[in-house]
Structure 1
Amino acid sequence: MRFTKGDDSKRKECAKRQLQSRMAQANRFSQIPMSKCMRDLCKEEDYTFLNTLGKQDKSPESTCQESECQEKQEDRIRRRLEREQLGQEKQREIEERQKEKDEQWKSHVAELTVQRKTIRAKLDRLREFRDFQKQVVLQDLGLDPDSANETVKHLLMRL
């Protein structure tokens, strides 16, 4: 069977379109990250998949479904963003409460430290006064300051 010039040119055009289509598909698919080994394994599946993408019908039903899917996806994205914002706000509130608690604890510890220091200072003053009182009593009685006399201790306890 002989081919005429018209058939030959049609065949060349068809082959050229197929080659261009495959090149376009290869360019589109090369943008998808994949290892070389995996790309070789999936090449035929890729072409089949890309061919089906190119041949999808744009009927009103499919566009309606696409718009519904897109709306659902936008709603999901919006809800996810809202959840993330709420989570961030809760995290900030928790951190603020923790900071407040830390500050309260630090101020409480500082107050206790000040109280402890004042109590120790009072105790030291009381001891000094007690020693002074003991010396005065011993001098009034004319006793030796180094002697441990029970009557002096008893007398100081009553004061």
Structure 2
Amino acid sequence: MTHVKRFQGIPMSKSMRGLCKEEDYVFLGMTEKKTKETAEGAGALEDDWRDRKEERVRRRQERDQQEKERLREIEERKKEKEQQWRTHVAELTSSQEKTLPDRLARLKRFREFQRKVLVEESGMEGGAADHIISRLLTRM
């Protein structure tokens, strides 16, 4: 009824006032329809907004899940590589432990051979010769 109060303050003829009332009622009828449509549209917009929000939340959860999965796979690969490295080091250590005694035995035989050759070449025998030959071998 606010339209009646608004129109009363405007000076115009009776016929003009009647015309304005008709237009006003038509306009008010249209606005009520639009208001209903707008309310329905707002409900639809709200549903659409809610759907989009749920979709964003779902996508965020999927991204978080994929990130966790990726980090888990990286961690697994890291552990696997570390295990491979430990196995490799263990194999190297074991093979070196096997070859060291053989090398030591070969080195002792070679030193004995060198000592024997030096004793034969020098022609000396006895304690003094052993001392001189040991110093020579140490220098080598």
TM-based fold match above 0.5: yes
Matches within 5 A, 1:66-85: 67-85=25-43
Looking at structure 2, the residues matched to 51 and 124 of structure 1 have their Cα atoms a distance apart, in angstroms, of 91
Bigger helix share:
2
* RMSD over equivalenced CA pairs, Å: 3.2
Query: Does the C-alpha gap of structure 1 residues 100 and 51 become closer, same or farther in structure 2, counting only changes over 3 Å?
Result: closer
Q: Give, in angstroms, the shift of residue 111 of structure 1.
A: 0.6
TM-score (norm 1): 0.50
Larger Rg: 2
Query: Does the C-alpha gap of structure 1 residues 56 and 92 become closer, same or farther in structure 2, counting only changes over 3 Å?
Result: farther
User: Where does residue 112 of structure 1 map in the other structure?
Assistant: 70
User: Where does residue 130 of structure 1 map in the other structure?
Assistant: 88
Query: Does the C-alpha gap of structure 1 residues 143 and 52 become closer, same or farther in structure 2, counting only changes over 3 Å?
Result: farther
Q: Give, in angstroms, the shift of residue 142 of structure 1.
A: 2.1
Q: Give, in angstroms, the shift of residue 52 of structure 1.
A: 3.6
Identity of aligned residues (%): 6
Looking at structure 2, the residues matched to 65 and 74 of structure 1 have their Cα atoms a distance apart, in angstroms, of 14
Looking at structure 1, the residues matched to 20 and 64 of structure 2 have their Cα atoms a distance apart, in angstroms, of 65
User: Where does residue 50 of structure 1 map in the other structure?
Assistant: 9
Looking at structure 2, the residues matched to 112 and 143 of structure 1 have their Cα atoms a distance apart, in angstroms, of 48
Query: Does the C-alpha gap of structure 1 residues 130 and 50 become closer, same or farther in structure 2, counting only changes over 3 Å?
Result: same
Q: How many residues align?
A: 97
Q: Flag as ranges the 4+ runs of structure 1 deviating above 2 A.
A: 55-59, 61-71
Looking at structure 2, the residues matched to 97 and 132 of structure 1 have their Cα atoms a distance apart, in angstroms, of 52
Looking at structure 1, the residues matched to 51 and 10 of structure 2 have their Cα atoms a distance apart, in angstroms, of 53
TM-score (norm 2): 0.56
Gaps of 5+ in 2: 103-140
Q: Give, in angstroms, the shift of residue 63 of structure 1.
A: 6.7
